[in-house]
Amino acid sequence: MVDVLTEIIINIPIEKVSTYASNPENAPEWYVNIQSAEWKTEKTVQKGSQIAFKASFLGRELAYIYEITEFQPGEKLSMKTSTGPFPMETIYTWESIGRDVTRMTLRNRGNPTGFSKVFSPFMATMMQRANIKDLKKIKEILENR
């Protein structure tokens, strides 16, 4: 099992952070490895919504579909892949920790299968590095608007 948890403090109100982060159309802007996001269902962030992502990771092109499994606006968004070689769950949480200050967490966990299983420890380290870059990027974007 790979389980990576990262967090960052963003000096922006929770509503703005969670609204931006929970919109899949913004993912290519702040995720280092995501090239595109395409709605497969109605463009509404809600349980059951599906989004197709194209990304690159460890030199490989990846295409996968996430399905939203839980959405509590301003608090939490959970998604799981419904396809792909590495079944993955991604969870965002947001917490107001002061006036106009938000703690955002990003958690990725999953069970690699087949050939990917051999690289689990390496993948966790690479995911941790990518997640830190992603959170720094979203912080930069939101704090400089």
* Amino acid 38: pLDDT: 97
Which strand (E) or helix (H) includes residue 56?
strand 50-57
CB 36 within 8 A of CB 53: yes
pLDDT tens-digit readout, 4-41: 999 999 999 999 999 999 999 999 999 999 999 999 99
Among the residue ranges 1-5, 37-41, 69-73, the one predicted with the least confidence is 1-5
Q: Is 79 exposed, middle or buried (0-12, 13-18, 19+ CB in 10 A)?
A: buried
* Amino acid 48: pLDDT: 97
CB 58 within 8 A of CB 126: yes
Distance from C-alpha of 22 to C-alpha of 25, rounded to nearest angstrom: 9
Domains observed in the chain:
2-143 (3.30.530.20)
Instruction: Please check the confidence at residue 51 and state whether its pLDDT lies above 70.
Output: yes
pLDDT tens-digit readout, 76-100: 999 999 666 678 999 999 999 999 9
Instruction: Please check the confidence at residue 116 and state whether its pLDDT lies above 80.
Output: no
Distance from C-alpha of 112 to C-alpha of 117, rounded to nearest angstrom: 5
pLDDT, average across residues 115-139? 83
Which strand (E) or helix (H) includes residue 107?
strand 101-110
Distance from C-alpha of 35 to C-alpha of 119, rounded to nearest angstrom: 23
* Amino acid 100: pLDDT: 96
Distance from C-alpha of 47 to C-alpha of 94, rounded to nearest angstrom: 18
Beta-bridge partners for 103: 9, 95
C-alpha dihedral over 62, 68, 69, 74, to 10 degrees?
120
Instruction: Please check the confidence at residue 59 and state whether its pLDDT lies above 80.
Output: no
* Amino acid 63: pLDDT: 87
- pTM, whole model, 2 decimals? 0.91
Q: pLDDT confidence of 60, banded at 50, 70, 90? A: confident
CB 125 within 8 A of CB 58: no
